[in-house]
Amino acid sequence: MARFPAALKGRPGRAQKLISLLQTANLKDAGSEFYNSLEAPAFEKFPLLALFQEFLRVNGAAATLMSGSGSTTFAVMESRTAAEAVAEKFKAKFGKRNWIAVVPA
């Protein structure tokens, strides 16, 4: 982690700020506070994961994040309809070999 110093030091209050934004703001504002310190090294080793997230954001995701230590990435969308539409776009662009699930929040 020496090459990723930001990953070593958390920002106090980050989780509380995210919770507050999720309760009071729109999803886009809250989306900027989603954070996983393992993304930087994972994206360096597997750039395709970063491409997946960028595609999801460009296509309307309020937030994207790698889950745990990878390799799962998820997106938060405004509606189930929007999620289903972006899932189809994702399959068209990256193929059907990726596992995709649309689940209600």
The stretch 88-105 carries a mean pLDDT of 91
Give the model confidence (pLDDT) of 36-61 as tens digits: 888 988 999 999 999 999 999 999 99
- What pLDDT is stored for residue 19 in this prediction? 83
Kindly tell me the burial class for residue 7, based on how many C-beta atoms sit within 10 Å of its own C-beta (0-12, 13-18, 19 or more): middle
What is the pLDDT, as a whole number, of residue 23? Answer: 86
- pLDDT tens-digit readout, 10-26: 677 777 888 888 888 77
Q: What is the mean pLDDT of the chain?
A: 86
Copy the structure tokens of residue 15: 């989780």
Closest residue by Cα to residue 65 from 42, 93, 90 = 42
